[in-house]
Structure 1
Amino acid sequence: MSDQADKRRHLTDDQILKHINDLETEERELRSKLSSGQLNPETEQPRLAAIEVELDQFWDLLRQRRARAAAHQNPDDAEARSAAQVEGYLG
């Protein structure tokens, strides 16, 4: 497990939701600045893509934690999945 994944494992639901909200705020601001021509899409597109992946990972972790809690299991046993795993879901 990577250091980053290990850190995510010890977050509470409230901390995860706060991070999701922070990322969504950053994403909205970035998209707004890009659409108004305030930022160069070529230089900002990688950050926007990274935000989207990180959001997917944190939403996945929160869903895992909630499912574990609903099943009377320890939500802290939920593990952050890799970007490739989360982005590879077929729905």
Structure 2
Amino acid sequence: MGDQERDIIGGIDGLVAEERALRDRNGREPGLSAEEKARLRTVEVRLDQCWDLLRQRRALSEYGEDPAQARVRPADEVEGYRS
């Protein structure tokens, strides 16, 4: 695993921790503020993009291509992907 892949995984770990914290707060009174709800949505989208980027890199590497060719795709392309 290269440094870039480790960085992507580290980013995913940080986003997952933030998502959990926001979801925990959302389940308690008084819930999330409008800003926190917007942040949660942003975190969810960014996670989808990070997972997609990681999958792209691994697929390129598996087929002998340069994983550095992988690019972050727009949210509307990756939204709803499940790992």
Which TM-score band applies after superposition, normalised by the shorter structure?
A: 0.7 to 0.9
Quick one: distance in 1 between partners of 2:38 and 2:77?
19
Quick one: distance in 2 between partners of 1:76 and 1:43?
34
Quick one: distance in 1 between partners of 2:25 and 2:59?
37
Mark the runs of 5 or more structure 2 residues left unpaired by the alignment. none
**Partner of residue 25 from structure 2, selected from 26, 33, 52:** 33
Which 4+ runs in 1 deviate beyond 4 A?
none
Q: 1:71 to 1:88 in 2, by over 3 A?
A: same
Q: TM-score, normalised by structure 1?
A: 0.78
Quick one: distance in 1 between partners of 2:80 and 2:46?
14
Q: C-alpha offsets along residues 30-72 of structure 1, whole Å, 9 cap, x if unaligned?
A: 1111112254343321111100000000000000000000001
> Which of the pair has the greater relative contact order for Cα pairs under 8 Å at 6+ separation?
1
**Residue 19 (structure 1) aligns with:** 11
**Residue 69 (structure 1) aligns with:** 61
Instruction: Please give the secondary structure, in 2, of the residue aligned with 1:79.
Output: coil
The alignment of Structure 1 onto Structure 2 pairs a total of residues equal to 79
Percentage identity across paired residues of the two chains: 42
